[in-house]
């Protein structure tokens, strides 16, 4: 009797289930997840920076997750593109290239906007690349960008206004 009840209960339960097959969920890589909340993309802000004669607009790693993710998972980046990291306090900094496929150079910047040091970073290398002095900011650009533009330590970065990034397209 108990078996008959169990068979009846299971068949009833299975028969009343959802007739629709489960819908596949879109998969987002971690970089995309940093900027998507539900169905509304959160476009990273951009900031205008002046360094010597160069003026650039770069993405801002706005929140803690964005700072941790940085430029990970990207396959390419336009020549004058980059990412600006702003921290709430001045301290010794270190970055690494985990899951970062493009070669980068990083400039560590103190509270007054002065570049403390510029270092080249190797794709996928998890060794820390450290600031030589305390830094409040960091700017990642394509490797060699600073050298090509004649930018060196002790140069000052002029920080402009934040604005939405109208050209933002999430990576594939």
Residue 101's domain is classified under what CATH number?
2.60.120.1140
Q: Examine the pLDDT at 41 and tell me if it is beyond 90.
A: no
In a domain, 33, yes or no: no
In a domain, 25, yes or no: no
Q: What pLDDT does 1 receive?
A: 54
Q: Examine the pLDDT at 3 and tell me if it is beyond 50.
A: yes
**pLDDT-based confidence at 140, cuts 50/70/90?**
very high
- Distance, in Å, from the CA atom of 137 to the CA atom of 114, rounded to the nearest integer, reads 10
Q: Examine the pLDDT at 169 and tell me if it is beyond 60.
A: no
In this structure, of 57-61, 100-104, 105-109, 132-136, the range with the lowest mean pLDDT score is 57-61
The CA-atom distances, in angstroms, between 77 and each of 41, 48, 85, 103, 143 are 20, 17, 17, 10, 11
Residue ranges in the chain assigned as alpha helix (H) = 2-15, 30-35, 64-69, 145-148
Question: Residue 146 is part of which domain span?
Answer: 44-164
In a domain, 171, yes or no: no
In a domain, 22, yes or no: no
Q: What pLDDT does 156 receive?
A: 96
In a domain, 28, yes or no: no
- Distance, in Å, from the CA atom of 104 to the CA atom of 82, rounded to the nearest integer, reads 9
In a domain, 159, yes or no: yes
In a domain, 32, yes or no: no
- The model carries a pTM of 0.72
Q: Examine the pLDDT at 39 and tell me if it is beyond 80.
A: no
Q: What pLDDT does 42 receive?
A: 52
Q: How many domains does the chain have?
A: 1
List CB contacts of 12: < 8 A, sequence separation 6 or more.
Answer: none
In a domain, 55, yes or no: yes
Q: Examine the pLDDT at 8 and tell me if it is beyond 70.
A: no
Q: Examine the pLDDT at 91 and tell me if it is beyond 80.
A: yes
Is the C-alpha dihedral spanning 110, 100, 30, 94 positive or negative? negative
Q: Examine the pLDDT at 159 and tell me if it is beyond 70.
A: yes
Q: What pLDDT does 9 receive?
A: 46
């Amino acid at each position: 009797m108990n078996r008959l009840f169990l068979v009846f209960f299971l068949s009833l339960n299975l028969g009343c289930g959802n007739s629709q097959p489960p819908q596949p969920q879109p998969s987002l890589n971690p970089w995309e997840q940093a900027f998507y909340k539900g169905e509304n993309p959160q476009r990273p802000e951009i900031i205008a920076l002046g360094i010597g004669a160069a003026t650039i607009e770069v993405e801002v790693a706005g929140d803690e997750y964005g700072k941790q993710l940085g430029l990970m998972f990207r396959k390419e980046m336009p020549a004058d593109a980059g990412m600006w990291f702003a921290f709430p306090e001045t301290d010794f900094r270190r970055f690494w290239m985990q899951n970062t496929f493009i070669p980068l150079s990083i400039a560590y910047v103190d509270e007054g906007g002065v570049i403390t040091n510029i270092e080249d970073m190797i794709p996928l290398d998890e060794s820390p690349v450290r600031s030589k002095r305390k830094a409040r900011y960091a700017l990642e650009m394509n490797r060699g960008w600073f050298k090509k533009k004649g930018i060196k330590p002790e140069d000052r970065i002029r920080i402009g206004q934040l604005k939405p990034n109208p050209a933002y397209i999430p990576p594939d």
